[in-house]
Amino acid sequence: MLHSKYKWQPQAYDANASQQFAEVLSISPMLASLLISRGICTVEEANMFIKGNMDDLHDPFLLHGMTEAVPRILQAVDSEEHILVYGDYDADGVSSTSLMIHLMRHLGASFDIYIPHRSNEGYGLHNHAMDWAHQQGVSLMITVDTGISAVEQVAYANSLGIDVIITDHHEPPEVLPNAYALINPKLSDCSYPYKGLAGVGVAYKLCQALLGNPPIEWTELVAIGTVADLMPLTGENRILVQTGIASMRKSSFQGIKALLEVSGIVKETVTSTNIAFGMAPRINASGRLDHAGRAVSLLTTEDSSVALGLAHELDHLNKQRQQVVEDILQEALTQLETKIQNGGLPSCIVLAGKGWNVGVVGIVASKILERYYRPVLILGIDEGTGTCKGSARSIPGLDMYDALTSCKHLMDHYGGHPAAAGMSLPIEHLSEFEIALNQYAKTILVTEDLIPVVEADGEWKISDLSISVIEELELLQPFGMANPVPRFIIRDVVLQESRTMGREHNHLRLTMQQGNNRLEAVAFGQGNLSELLTSGSSLDVIGELSINEWNGSRKLQLMLHDLAISEPQVYDLRGAKDPQMEINRYLQMMGPRLRGQSSQVGVIFEEKRLADIRNDLNELSLWVYDKNGGMISSNSLAEQGKDDITTLFVLDAPLSPRQLDEMMTTYKSLRNIVLLHDMDVPEKLQVPDRELFKKLYILLSRIGSVPVSERDVLSQISRQSSTSVRMLSMMMDVFEELSFIERSQGSITIVSKPPKKDLDDSLHFRELGKLAEMEQNLFHTNTMQLTNWMITLLKAIS
């Protein structure tokens, strides 16, 4: 048995509503069900989701503060005031700033831009930037993707005679800045119908309010920032991103064309996925390792050669960023391992390191969250300033913004969303900060929150899936947050073949069958799963469906996300050179798929191994074969009991059928067996039959009725009959029990007139049959024969 790595959560939907959608919209029942699972309740909403366009956007003046902001900006332009656009250094901030540059150019305004340096200045507004703006003659400042928490900085700008218009989308604090205008759909007194806009989306609404119909190509910038900032692709975001992607496919922006080229993305087929994994990391790399101004220059230049040069610079920075992330990740994991050894896995993981680049700590946090599924905060320590700056990533069970708010007295600054946030604090508060966050997390998180969940779009059979149905799913594009690529659960498929792919064999390809229908699946980075999969096993799988085109052939392919096997599993590692290393390797491969504690993993072996096994594997439940049959617990975990053991590593084969029976019946919850026993077996036994015993008796009768050396006789008969001496000796036990021979001091004598008895009357005969069958299966069969035999035994006791 292998549990799924994630908890699968199929989205519920109303079958009647699905049928109505299918009929009214002339779409397949599958697409109808997917719309419903995305929270679309009416045909009108379904039409808007599928057919919504720019004409369906909300009036920008519904945003609180817009009525005040627009005339102030127009006044500044008419009066030739100097305007400052103040942005943020992430991809949303870069897109927002670039959009405002295009707006300022369009209006003919006098303007400058300011984006703080992530490492040297940190997030948000800064008083020294206000001083610089004042020196430049700025009288109006417009923030994009930042500013909603800048109470003191806005007050300082006001004291300098600078009016501040804040456009932002982050969670508003309790106390708001005294700005000339605050534009944020999340403000409590803002009645704007859609709350999910990115920072660039709010900036675009400002453009709308000022121009009515901004140039359609500006939505390309909106698409980049919205996707990169992981905003929900619903409502207005969906329309803006969809429009932006369509425009991007024929983009006139030199910077976007160059970025697509360097990212290896075909412009004519660009998708939201390309933005998320190709374009956004390169834009973000600018602000992480250098200054975000370089990315802004790329998105605003009109010179193609300059654009290509900048795009290559960002690509190089992104490669550097990847290496920096890997270096910090390894240091952080080492630090976390020490924490785990000293006190267990924390409810909220807080790790800090000297010199860690604060521009990439958010990525490191995401990677550690993915591995441990806990809220994670990674902070870089600057000993020169005595501060820590960092980023947090959280799981659905913990609102990170609320968590930080609970200990805001320990920080200099913080801000963000429920899933991600940034903060800075003095070094001397770090320990108290970690304790406070963990105390808060313990009051919020429950066990169910700590099991990663993957949502699925229902359970389907392979026969439900066709190329035409999958093609129809393109109507759901663009995919992203709140509108993920559809995932399907398919249960009870039979594994026909599994094999690894790639130069390093780190990818997996499966061929599965359900009835008369076949489906291929590919799992990138999961090549090691091939060792845990056996042909003929029944699988449950979950993944994304796509159409694979090769040599003119088109067929469905499942991008496998996860799988589960509910049947017992037997793994044949007989004759492993280093069995203990194999145990650790298999435990690492199985990982969360075992879904249990170390006490549920047992190891069984002969007593002679005990000292070594205790040294290396004492964290598992250790068992030794009892010479009289049965098992003896050999460490404290084993003494807790045997009923919960689900996975058993067999280092030494049982010596008798009784030991085998005891092994199979003792562990009542056993579902996985890994066989690691040595293949250097004693002389081979044959499954006994009457013909074999008849031949032996004839050979013995030729010796006569005088006593002869048993050793010499068995050696002679072994050469004549190609039967092992061990087998012959056990057959002699049968003859002795049936009074066909007599034994005395190493000699045997044929009984001249033996009693008439059947072989089945002999206990030795029956036990020899069981022992020979056991050894035949354990030592002399191929993997398929062995696993089928063991699974039959497992099923017989389950």
Q: Which of 48-62, 318-332, 756-770 has the lowest mean pLDDT?
A: 756-770
pLDDT of residue 229: 93
252: containing domain: 55-317
Say yes or no to pLDDT of 112 above 90. Answer: yes
pLDDT cut 70: percent of the chain above it: 100
- Residue 59 domain-assigned? yes
Which stretches of 301-348 are DSSP H helices? 304-343
Q: For residue 711, give the CATH number of its domain.
A: 1.10.10
- Residue 326 domain-assigned? no
- Residue 325 domain-assigned? no
Confidence of residue 448 (pLDDT cuts 50, 70, 90): confident
Q: What digits encode the pLDDT tens for the residues 509-561?
A: 999 999 999 999 999 988 888 888 988 889 999 999 999 888 878 889 999 99
Find out whether 602 and 648 touch, Cβ atoms under 8 Å. yes
User: What integer is the mean pLDDT of 435-462?
Assistant: 91
568 or 233: which carries more pLDDT confidence? 233
Q: Are residues 141 and 197 in the same domain?
A: yes
Q: Which residues contact 226 (CB under 8 A, 6 or more apart)?
A: 92, 197, 198, 200, 201, 233, 237, 240, 241, 244
Q: Can you spell out the DSSP letters for 472-489?
A: HGGGGPSPBBTBPPP-EE
Q: What digits encode the pLDDT tens for the residues 418-438?
A: 889 999 999 999 999 999 999
Distance of CA 434 to the CA centre of its chain: 26
Q: Are residues 25 and 142 in the same domain?
A: no
Say yes or no to pLDDT of 492 above 80. Answer: yes
Q: For residue 547, give the CATH number of its domain.
A: 2.40.50.460
Say yes or no to pLDDT of 798 above 70. Answer: no
pLDDT of residue 386: 93
Q: Are residues 434 and 360 in the same domain?
A: yes
Q: For residue 252, give the CATH number of its domain.
A: 3.90.1640.30
Say yes or no to pLDDT of 627 above 90. Answer: no
Say yes or no to pLDDT of 755 above 90. Answer: no
Tokens of 774: 């056991």
Q: Which of 64-73, 208-217, 373-382, 409-418 has the lowest mean pLDDT?
A: 409-418
Burial 16-48 (b: 16+ CB within 10 A, else e): ebbebbbeebebbebbbbbbbbbebeeeebbeb
- Residue 235 domain-assigned? yes
Q: Are residues 575 and 660 in the same domain?
A: yes
Euclidean distance between CA atoms 631 and 263, whole angstroms: 60
Q: Are residues 192 and 126 in the same domain?
A: yes
769 or 67: which carries more pLDDT confidence? 67
Tokens of 661: 């029976």
Q: For residue 609, give the CATH number of its domain.
A: 3.40.50
Cα–Cα distance list, 783 to 391, 488, 586, 777 (Å): 50, 33, 17, 10
Q: Are residues 705 and 638 in the same domain?
A: no
Euclidean distance between CA atoms 243 and 234, whole angstroms: 13
Q: Which of 409-423, 631-645, 678-692 has the lowest mean pLDDT?
A: 678-692
Provide the greatest CA pair distance for the chain.
Answer: 131
Find out whether 96 and 126 touch, Cβ atoms under 8 Å. no
Burial of 193 (0-12, 13-18, 19+ CB in 10 A): exposed
Euclidean distance between CA atoms 543 and 454, whole angstroms: 10
User: What integer is the mean pLDDT of 80-84?
Assistant: 98
Q: Are residues 162 and 311 in the same domain?
A: yes
Work out whether strand 507-514 and strand 708-709 pair parallel, antiparallel, or are unpaired.
unpaired
* Last residue of one domain, picked from the residues 565, 598, 632: 565
pLDDT of residue 417: 82
Say yes or no to pLDDT of 181 above 90. Answer: yes
Euclidean distance between CA atoms 19 and 456, whole angstroms: 20
Q: For residue 383, give the CATH number of its domain.
A: 3.10.310.30
Say yes or no to pLDDT of 596 above 80. Answer: no
pLDDT of residue 327: 96
Q: Are residues 43 and 61 in the same domain?
A: no
Q: Which of 29-33, 239-243, 308-312, 401-405 has the lowest mean pLDDT?
A: 29-33
Q: What is the DSSP letter of 42?
A: S
* Last residue of one domain, picked from the residues 515, 539, 565: 565
Q: Are residues 21 and 107 in the same domain?
A: no
158 or 17: which carries more pLDDT confidence? 158
pLDDT of residue 257: 97
- Residue 339 domain-assigned? no
* Last residue of one domain, picked from the residues 396, 430, 451: 451
Say yes or no to pLDDT of 340 above 90. Answer: no
- Residue 192 domain-assigned? yes
472 or 680: which carries more pLDDT confidence? 472
Euclidean distance between CA atoms 251 and 260, whole angstroms: 10
Strand order across the beta sheet in which 708-709 lies: 708-709, 747-750, 741-744
- Please tell me the total count of domains within the chain: 5
Confidence of residue 123 (pLDDT cuts 50, 70, 90): confident
Confidence of residue 416 (pLDDT cuts 50, 70, 90): confident
Q: Which residues contact 280 (CB under 8 A, 6 or more apart)?
A: 91, 224, 227, 228
pLDDT of residue 352: 97
Average pLDDT, the chain: 92
Q: Are residues 199 and 128 in the same domain?
A: yes
Say yes or no to pLDDT of 564 above 70. Answer: yes
Q: Are residues 95 and 129 in the same domain?
A: yes
Tokens of 354: 């000297």
Q: Are residues 497 and 415 in the same domain?
A: no
Element (H, E) at 367: helix 361-372
- Residue 327 domain-assigned? no
- Residue 260 domain-assigned? yes
